[in-house]
Amino acid sequence: MNQEQQETAKQVLRALLDHMGVAAEIFPEVVDDTTIFNLRSSDSAILIGQHGVNLGALQYMTRVLVHKRLPETLHFIVDVEGYKKSREEFLRELARQAAARVRDTRESLLLKPMLAYERRVVHAEISKLPDIVTESVGEEPERRVLIKPRG
């Protein structure tokens, strides 16, 4: 994402926040070729929402509106005070613990419902293991990850 694209995305995000009546500082950062717009606000809990639902909606709306202004599809992340990063670390650890349990018991394990990006983190972590597999089951918003022994 070049500077002009980054500025456009930042303007769209600022307009959404203003429309919501939420005061927040936006800190763009590039990590592994991905721009992360980290927000800091006294309304962090509102921006994140229960289990990150509001944050997911904010990211979705930002992407849709940026796509209307720019012809190319841009990949970027909207985060609030590092919530997504810490959530991803938690999910990777959850995946490892669940895999160990499945390995020990040889029984499948169904995790709680998760957002799509959270399921991707779990699938990616489990994909590193040769003896355990995953699949998503159910319908949104109750879609879950099923972890089971391979074969």
Residue 106 and residue 134 share a domain:
yes
Note the pLDDT tens digit of each residue in 28-84.
999 888 999 999 999 999 999 998 889 999 999 999 999 999 988 889 999 999 999
Question: Same domain for 129 and 103?
Answer: yes
pLDDT value of position 68: 95
Burial of 75 (0-12, 13-18, 19+ CB in 10 A): exposed
Q: In 10 A of CB 133, how many CB atoms?
A: 18
- Cut 0.85: pTM above it: no
> Reading across the β-sheet that carries 109-110, which strands appear in turn?
109-110, 144-149, 132-137
Using 50, 70 and 90 to split pLDDT, how confident is the model at 141? confident
pLDDT of the residue at 97: 98
Residues spanned by the domain of 111: 86-149
Residue 39's nearest CA partner among 47, 31, 30 is: 47
Looking at the fold, whether 67 and 110 belong to one and the same domain comes out as no
Domain containing residue 53: CATH number: 3.30.300.20
- Choose among 39, 18, 15, 19: nearest CA to 27: 39
Tokens of 43: 């309304």
Cα gap 82→38, rounded to integer Å: 7
